[in-house]
């Protein structure tokens, strides 16, 4: 029992020592806590989105049917009724409402016959109302489908070809803080790779090999300490986002995504540290990953971009970020979790080959 417990105690001791050093690292604290929050706040200011205050819409309802009332009751956005466009414009200019929604007289009649009515939404050019527009579009789509089911006596929804005459605004505000958290996790992984490379060039790893610690214990303690420190700081960042009342989606999905991101980027850090001698190359590789993540983020938040960059969309599934964002966007763990874990194991295996050579400055992995 003593012989089995000794290596574990050595590993835990090294992890604890390295964790304390990592938590004192101000750059890591800034990368994982300060920057994601500041960037999210800046983007929300840029798009004039207040995360804690719901927008109010002025409604001109010329429809006498029940469907218009039903739609307005289902919307998460508060509404106030106005008599005419002039009254609504006054409220917009005074900042009391975000926009004016005009519901035509034939709203209920059109939906009942399976047709989409024309709604007019007036807003300032800089005002973002994508969530409200998406809610309205989804209601119209749902009601139009129900009318078609009734007209053609359809009881099985699979008998109806998906309606393609309705464009749904599919912009997720909760993706902004999540993408910022992932982006700075990538930035931190590049920094971890640089630290590992510096430990090697300064012969710190080689000196550790002279002690009674084996190569597995040394590399495991370093990686686990970086991983634990990163997860603690990311948890702090998420907690601050919640205090600021930002929408970050389902917390369980975000937790899984942050753990998976930390794992796969730790594997990538090891590979980068062993592949590139030049620290500048590690920075470039990190920057490329951030650009890939941002590109995928834009694709998720604006489907029209995905159509215009088809080649990028084809390559996206080969990156872990595609599957990580898929977990948040579609709120499904599988198969994304398995695929990301497989990518992590591939990177970890590649980074662990001949690790003693890497620690002892021997050739073979340079």
Q: Is 101 helix (H, G, I), strand (E, B) or coil?
A: strand
Euclidean distance between CA atoms 158 and 152, whole angstroms: 13
Q: Same domain, yes or no, for 34 and 182?
A: yes
Euclidean distance between CA atoms 101 and 154, whole angstroms: 33
Phi and psi for 80 in degrees, rounded to 5?
-130, 145
Residue where a domain stops, chosen among 159, 187, 215: 159
- Hey, which residues does 81 pair with through a beta bridge? 59
Q: Same domain, yes or no, for 107 and 242?
A: no
Per-residue model confidence (pLDDT) at position 366:
42
Q: Same domain, yes or no, for 39 and 65?
A: no
- Span 89-116, pLDDT tens digits: 888 777 788 788 888 888 888 888 777 7
Using CA atoms, how far residue 69 sits from 55, 65, 74, 80, 216, in Å, is 19, 8, 9, 12, 66
Per-residue model confidence (pLDDT) at position 126:
44
Q: Same domain, yes or no, for 40 and 139?
A: no
Q: Does residue 281 come out as left (phi exceeding 0), alpha (psi in the -120 to 50 range) or beta? A: alpha
Q: Is 43 helix (H, G, I), strand (E, B) or coil?
A: helix
Q: How confident is the model at residue 255 (pLDDT cuts 50, 70, 90)?
A: very high
Q: Same domain, yes or no, for 96 and 151?
A: yes
Taking residues 138-167, what's their average pLDDT?
A: 53
- Span 14-64, pLDDT tens digits: 677 777 766 677 877 787 788 888 887 777 666 555 554 457 888 999 988
Report the domain count for the chain.
Answer: 2
Q: Same domain, yes or no, for 259 and 155?
A: no
Q: How many CB atoms are located within 10 Å of the residue 220 CB?
A: 16
Q: How many CB atoms are located within 10 Å of the residue 46 CB?
A: 10
Q: Same domain, yes or no, for 89 and 140?
A: yes
CB within 8 Å of 105: residues ≥ 6 apart: 62, 63, 64
Q: Is 103 helix (H, G, I), strand (E, B) or coil?
A: strand
Asked whether residue 168 is assigned to any structural domain, the reply reads: no
Q: Same domain, yes or no, for 213 and 301?
A: yes
Q: Is 121 helix (H, G, I), strand (E, B) or coil?
A: strand
Asked whether residue 165 is assigned to any structural domain, the reply reads: no
Residue 236 sits in which domain range? 2-47+173-359
Phi and psi for 363 in degrees, rounded to 5?
-75, 160
Length of the chain: 366
- Span 124-149, pLDDT tens digits: 644 556 667 777 777 777 777 777 55
- Span 201-231, pLDDT tens digits: 877 767 766 666 677 777 788 888 888 888 9
Euclidean distance between CA atoms 19 and 24, whole angstroms: 9
Q: Same domain, yes or no, for 196 and 323?
A: yes
Asked whether residue 166 is assigned to any structural domain, the reply reads: no
Q: Same domain, yes or no, for 63 and 29?
A: no
């Amino acid at each position: 029992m003593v012989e089995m417990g000794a290596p574990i105690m050595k590993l835990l001791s090294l992890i604890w020592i390295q964790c304390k050093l990592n938590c004192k690292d101000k750059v890591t604290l800034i990368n994982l806590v300060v920057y994601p929050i500041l960037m999210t706040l800046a983007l929300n200011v840029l798009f004039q989105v207040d995360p804690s205050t719901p927008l109010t819409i002025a409604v001109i309802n010329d429809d006498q049917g029940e469907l218009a009332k039903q739609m307005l009751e289902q919307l998460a956005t508060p509404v106030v009724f106005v008599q005419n466009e002039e009254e609504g414009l006054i409220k917009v200019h005074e900042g009391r409402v975000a926009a004016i929604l005009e519901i035509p007289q034939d709203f209920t009649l059109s939906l009942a016959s399976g047709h989409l009515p024309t709604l007019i939404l007036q807003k300032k050019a800089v005002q973002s109302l994508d969530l409200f527009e998406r809610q309205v579009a989804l209601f119209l789509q749902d009601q139009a489908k129900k009318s078609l089911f009734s007209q053609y006596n359809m009881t099985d929804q699979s008998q109806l070809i998906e309606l393609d005459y309705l464009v749904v605004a599919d912009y997720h505000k909760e993706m902004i803080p999540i993408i910022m958290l992932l982006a700075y996790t990538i930035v931190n992984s590049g920094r971890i790779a640089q630290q590992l490379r510096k430990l090697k060039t300064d012969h710190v790893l080689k000196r550790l090999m002279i002690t009674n610690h084996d190569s597995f214990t040394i590399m495991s303690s370093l990686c686990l300490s970086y991983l634990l420190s990163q997860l603690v700081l990311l948890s702090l960042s998420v907690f601050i986002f919640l205090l600021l009342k930002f929408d970050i989606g389902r917390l369980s999905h975000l937790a899984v995504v942050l753990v998976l991101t930390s794992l796969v980027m730790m594997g990538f850090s090891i590979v980068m540290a062993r592949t590139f001698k030049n620290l500048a190359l590690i920075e470039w590789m990190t920057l490329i990953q951030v650009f890939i993540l941002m590109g995928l983020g834009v694709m998720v938040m604006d489907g029209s971009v995905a159509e215009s960059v088809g080649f990028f969309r084809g390559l996206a599934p080969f990156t872990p970020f595609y599957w990580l964002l898929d977990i948040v966007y579609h709120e499904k763990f599988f198969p994304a979790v398995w695929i990301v874990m497989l990518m992590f194991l591939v990177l970890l295996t590649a980074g662990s080959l001949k690790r003693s050579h890497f620690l002892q400055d021997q050739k073979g992995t340079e």
